Amino acid sequence: MKTAWRVCLASMIFLALCSSNATAQSCTVQMPQPVSGQRYVVAISDLHFGAGKVDGAWSPKEDFKWHNALAGFLDKVSACAGDKVDLVIAGDMLELWQTHDNKKCAKTSGDAGCTVDELTTRVKTVVTQHSQDLALFGKFADRGENRVFVVPGNHDSALLFAAPWKEVVAVMKSVRGRISRVDSGLWRSADGRILVEHGHQIGSDLNKYPRWPDVSISDASGASFVERPWGEQFVQELFNEQEDVYPVIDNLSPESTGAKLRMADRGAWKSAKDMAQFVRFNLLETSLSQKGSVLSKQDDSSSDWVDVQIARKKGHKLFVAAMDSQDPFRVELIADAVSSADLRRELDELAKTMPDEEIKAMCVASKLRGASASLCSTGTLGAMTQKLLHSRDDVLRTHLKARIKEAGNANVRIFVYGHTHSLETLRELKLSDSKTVSVLNTGAFQRVIDEQNFLRLAAKKGYAKPSEALKGLRVENLVPCYSAVLIASDPQRAEARTVYWKADENEPGVFIATKDASCQVAL
């Protein structure tokens, strides 16, 4: 006989499986209380409360305008779980990289970003603009036995400091004191079986901090600043400069998609060294996620097919081979121009120091594009396909093995992260013969769209080129779907699901499946 909490989770899953044509009312079912002593874990991330309104109008840099959707979501999960929820906000609750022009920091240089005082001022602006949204979390935390845990991310790393965090807590207005900052950057359930982090420390992410969660840094004069990862220096500078022209540039998932389309419209925009890093980022984040089954007819269990040293020596040629022929980065790379020659030289140097896993992944991508296997040594197609299908898992596996060695993480069975804005449903990742971890990605609790659906939306709206759609579309044109991870567990087992909360601002919300067409096809 199912325990009550499993019935509750099943009820939520029932909502997620409702037809895309069903109304919220027809999907609604009564949700019973969980068994005594057990709690739900609900993880959301990447809300990006940011610049808010300027002179009464939404700033083009603001991505979160969905107060009613968030309110409905919090009410539903609290009611389902009998007001006994651990809500984990898994990073980037605040958008501190994009604010009003008059709030820029004065002396950013290299790895040194804003001072704590400057970021505290920036936080004050953001929390004032989103006071009603933040107050929802305070109300949630004061309900029953709910608790709220805020994990700092790369966009709101300033929350690791006392002064900015104080501003946030004051606006949340919880009277019961059940809102906590996760100082370590890693949230663990009380039984140690669930681990949640933002995700920017995984692999060779452009937003990785070398000493996370220590993000303080001093310049040559000894002055103290908050560290800026390379991603902030480059990617967000692009978005800050361009979002007035391209309103949804950072609502595309992954974020390199928006930058790629902008480049197709206006060409390269930074130094060859910076462009080389971004080409690497785009290739590993975008191209390798577009894996297919084109080689699946081959059957070869061997995985010893790439000679990393041979591949490294191919330098920029390996990058060219791994890209689609129409990729704007590839077009720039092979052009007969001084800037292109500089970029090729930078990629030659970059290939010498990239991790082996990235070199291998690019070799597989190049083979999928039709390049000769001799580019990276010899091997059979089946082995290369197998390696591609697991290349991103290899990065996660390496990360999780290191995490589990850390104090308190030995019993982890479920791992949840966000950051990429690309939700992932549960999959089992084998770390060893005796250890398997369930992995899920929260996606983003805001309106985002992947490249395929963006192109569909562009065509539907009559845009001749994707770059024109990038200029003309607004975040309001994206589907009102927000993703989350729901977990119910007891000492014997745990059940976890990634779901969409579909909620137009003027209608009741409903949980639906992540494959539901109504959250895949743009309005």
Question: Among 100-114, 198-212, 256-270, whose mean pLDDT is lowest?
Answer: 256-270
Instruction: Output the pLDDT for position 494.
Output: 73
Q: Average pLDDT, whole number, for the chain?
A: 81
Choice between 165 and 392, residue whose per-residue pLDDT is larger: 165
- Mean pLDDT for 79-84 is 88
**CA distance readout (Å), 380 to 308, 392, 501:** 16, 20, 43
Residue 498 clears pLDDT 60, i.e. is over it: yes
Beta strand extents in 433-477 (DSSP E only):
435-441, 449-450
Coil, strand, or helix at residue 431?
strand
Q: Round to whole Å and give the CA distance between 180 and 194.
A: 17
pLDDT digits (tens, 9 = 90+) for 438-491: 999 999 999 999 888 998 999 999 998 888 898 899 999 999 999 999 998 766
∠ Cα 199 201 207 (to 5°): 95
Of the candidates 353, 355, 350, 273, the one whose C-alpha atom is nearest the C-alpha of residue 319 is 350
Instruction: Name the helix (H) or strand (E) containing 69.
Output: helix 67-80
Q: Provide the whole-model pTM.
A: 0.79
Instruction: Output the pLDDT for position 301.
Output: 26
**CB neighbour burial string for 49-80, b if at least 16 within 10 angstroms, e if fewer:** bbbbeeeeebbbbbbbbbebbbbbbbebbbbb
- Mean pLDDT for 157-162 is 96
Domains of the chain: 38-250+413-450 (3.60.21), 268-391 (no CATH)
- Mean pLDDT for 169-177 is 94
∠ Cα 458 460 465 (to 5°): 30
Question: Among 75-84, 234-243, 272-281, whose mean pLDDT is lowest?
Answer: 234-243
Question: Among 44-58, 269-283, 312-326, 423-437, whose mean pLDDT is lowest?
Answer: 269-283
Instruction: List all residues 6 or more positions away from 512 whose beta carbon is below 8 Å from its beta carbon.
Output: 15, 16, 17, 18, 20, 481, 499, 500, 502, 518, 519
Instruction: Output the pLDDT for position 33.
Output: 40
Q: What is the band of 26 on the pLDDT scale with cuts at 50, 70, 90? A: very low
pLDDT digits (tens, 9 = 90+) for 219-254: 777 778 999 887 787 666 667 767 778 888 889 887
Instruction: List all residues 6 or more positions away from 213 whose beta carbon is below 8 Å from its beta carbon.
Output: 152, 157, 160, 183, 184, 185
Instruction: Output the pLDDT for position 285.
Output: 63
pLDDT digits (tens, 9 = 90+) for 94-145: 999 887 665 678 777 778 889 999 999 999 999 999 999 999 999 999 999 9
CA R_g for the chain: 23
Question: Among 40-49, 251-260, 326-335, 369-378, whose mean pLDDT is lowest?
Answer: 369-378
Instruction: Output the pLDDT for position 142.
Output: 97
Local structure of residue 152 (DSSP, 8 states): -
Instruction: Name the helix (H) or strand (E) containing 68.
Output: helix 67-80
Burial class (CB in 10 A: 0-12, 13-18, 19+), 280: buried
Residue 493 clears pLDDT 80, i.e. is over it: no
Helix 116-129 / helix 162-172 crossing angle, nearest 10 deg: 10
Q: Round to whole Å and give the CA distance between 140 and 159.
A: 20
Q: Round to whole Å and give the CA distance between 215 and 368.
A: 39
Instruction: Output the pLDDT for position 36.
Output: 52
Residue 28 clears pLDDT 50, i.e. is over it: no
Q: Round to whole Å and give the CA distance between 223 and 217.
A: 8
Coil, strand, or helix at residue 47?
coil
Instruction: Output the pLDDT for position 104.
Output: 73
> How many CB atoms within 10 Å of residue 522?
18
For residue 446, the one-letter residue type is Q
Of the candidates 241, 228, 205, 186, the one whose C-alpha atom is nearest the C-alpha of residue 409 is 186
Q: What is the band of 176 on the pLDDT scale with cuts at 50, 70, 90? A: very high
Q: Round to whole Å and give the CA distance between 295 and 366.
A: 13
Helix 272-285 / helix 338-351 crossing angle, nearest 10 deg: 60
- Mean pLDDT for 71-78 is 95
Coil, strand, or helix at residue 284?
helix
